A and B are shown apart, each in its own frame.
Chain A
């Protein structure tokens, strides 16, 4: 009886292992370039795998390790991105049968992920290639390898990139990274309710009061403790007035001289909007742009400042037709008419390996996936990002004709990026707290600016 029971258990165990084994094969999303059974000829063909864990031929002699930004990798859930990345990775792997790329998973918490990568890089443990948030990329200059030769081979000109990207990619004589995707902060406004987008703070208040009378939240933005708050709700207004965050030595100067007054003026405007009911006080709870998608989708919001990628996200919620019927994109309103500045971010890919053969292969892979004509257009279209190469807007039909993309292209001409200095992380935190303190009434604009400046200057 006992023996029969053991046999039965063994049988079920084998069945379970067989079934789960089969399933795990499916879960990796293998993309085989050849049938797995059949003639000798078929057996000699290369089996290409494209999964969130690996790209390429499992038996390849060269192994590369890649640490991508998770939303830009095969582990993302967006079907458009996955379709693009799978096709492109398969194409590259088939052209390089002697290479396999192991994909290192990392957290989606950007600052934590970047801190870990920086520790890896400084201790010589970095992956062969990886993606770095653009604002922290200068801290990796000592650990990344130049890629000018591969760029030249692939016909990529550094001058084709926007100025803000060029300066970070090529700090001196050598190109150290590929700024492969960017975004820009813009004003989204209900064009069915607002005939002309406001260009100044005074116009925001005027339109805002009209929308408030209709029971709407007229003007919202991110104001919680998050980097998005600085990008959307502090820097564009500050830069638009001529403000400067740091001096030539990289030390904070945003709280002295004219800079102090610029910040006080913008905080006064933002607080007035709260007090007048144009902006709801709950904006201090919005950390990232998607936080207010439910409010926007419910038709409760008249205007909001966010990254251009919100057009894609909002379209997927309310439908593309509805989005293009209701929402327009314009410049962020400034203190005075005539000034026009916005903030840009994005991601840079870089090669860490010093092995010459691997360095070239890594650069080739990154350029093919995200940077060459087909790569940048395909990737940015799939993900709703903006290309960093100007020519892509001319050569690709989508970027050449889409209304939102054209508006964003225009804004990119006025884009500034965060200063590449060690003190920036402290400055950013101080500015986040400054805005929050004013909007909640904890501090006056003057007190908040002085506190932020004092905090940012501390070691």
Chain B
């Protein structure tokens, strides 16, 4: 059996891998590279949905980059992404550390906590938006406002005040993305050497110091990868915002990805929508580049 295996290995060893990569290359070309190139091409046109006539132009980019609404939207997106990623990472870390500690102490229910935390990962974004919309409802049927009013305070305009609505959308997104952080960071914690932690304990290091000086530095790469993945995921978030606020009130929660949808399916403006999509792709590529650099550095280490 072993001889047969080694024979097969030897037979394939000298051959170039090109043949094996062809199916993957074809799939990538058809479902990823071609649409991507087409979006870039369309971004340099003035094409509208339903019209076959169009010209090549940079008018869409000019229009976007000279539009103050675009910079307002960019600001909204940056605020939404920044606070989402910070709290997703912090809460994910807190749950991961707690679960790990619980396991070490032999507490019951750690698997249950882990599973419950993962629920948000399997719920579609649109449904998450609807769930939070019901929670944030300002009428008497809104769960959060009902509790706030029971405590003797007035209703909070969770979704109808521009500033509060952005906070509400961020909270919903933190809830959505914390599970991914938790699972990645939990894996990261499991890779930290138990010997070093034990040595630190013997030396009298407190739990907080062990976390800051040993655990976190040891899982620096995992932490960075988690942050980058959260950044990319949040930049592309549109479904949840769509069902939660629709981008309103006004433009207060309109993020870049939602703007792409609005331009293409609301305004039927394929050219401009594609241009916004290309800007989003560039931002994502920057994130992806950082991700790969971190991964490379991790492999070298």
Contacts and interface: CB of A to CB of B under 8 A. Distances in A.
Contact of A225 (B69, B161, B247, B264): B247
Given A111-B265, A440-B161, A458-B63, A119 B50 contact: yes
Interface string B240-259: 00000011111110000000
Given A122-B50, A425-B266, A440 B246 contact: no
B268 A115 contact: yes
Interface string A413-446: 0000000001001100100110011011010000
A422 to B, nearest CB: 7
B160 A425 contact: no
A436 B249 contact: yes
A294 B268 CA distance: 34
Interface in B112-165: 138-141, 157, 159-162
A150 interface: no
Nearest to A223: B249
Contacts, number: 88
Contact of B246 (A224, A300, A459): A224
A459 B55 CA distance: 14
Nearest to A113: B265
B161 to A, nearest CB: 6
A440 B249 contact: yes
A118 B246 contact: no
A294 B141 contact: yes
Nearest to A118: B50
B191 interface: no
A442 B250 contact: yes
A231 B59 CA distance: 31
Which residue, B50, B138, B159, B161, has most C-beta atoms of chain A within 10 A?
Answer: B50
Contact of A284 (B49, B141, B160, B247): B160
Interface in B187-203: none
Interface residues of B, number: 33
B50 A282 contact: no
Contact of A429 (B159, B162, B266): B266
Given A226-B246, A429-B262, A442-B250, A122 B52 contact: yes
A440 B139 CA distance: 17
Interface in A269-315: 280-285, 287, 294-295, 298, 300
Interface string A38-64: 000000000000000000000000000
Contacts of B246: 224-226, 287
B65 to A, nearest CB: 12
A440 B264 CA distance: 27
B298 to A, nearest CB: 41
A395 interface: no
Contact of A436 (B46, B248, B264, B265): B248
B299 interface: no
Interface string B90-129: 0000000000000000000000000000000000000000
Interface string A206-226: 000000000000000000111
A455 interface: yes
A283 B157 CA distance: 11
A300 B49 CA distance: 43
B49 A285 contact: no
B296 interface: no
Contacts of A111: 265-266
B139 A295 contact: yes
A433 B69 CA distance: 12
Nearest to B50: A118
Contacts of B248: 224-225, 284, 432-433, 436
Given A281-B157, A285-B138, A433 B251 contact: yes
A224 B268 contact: no
Interface in A69-111: 109, 111
A225 B48 CA distance: 22
Contact of B59 (A283, A432, A459): A459
A139 interface: yes
B70 to A, nearest CB: 11
Nearest to A437: B250
B38 interface: no
Nearest to A292: B139
Given A115-B268, A284-B160, A284-B249, A139 B69 contact: no
A368 B164 CA distance: 51
Given A122-B51, A139-B50, A285-B160, A436 B250 contact: yes
A282 B139 contact: yes
A246 to B, nearest CB: 15
A121 B52 CA distance: 11
13 contacts: A111-B265, A280-B138, A282-B157, A284-B160, A285-B160, A298-B140, A425-B267, A429-B262, A433-B251, A437-B249, A440-B160, A442-B162, A458-B67
**Top 5 closest pairs, chain A to chain B, by CB:** A118-B50, A225-B248, A282-B138, A437-B250, A436-B250
Interface of A: 109, 111-112, 115, 118-119, 121-123, 139-140, 224-226, 280-285, 287, 294-295, 298, 300, 422, 425-426, 429, 432-433, 436-437, 439-440, 442, 455, 458-459
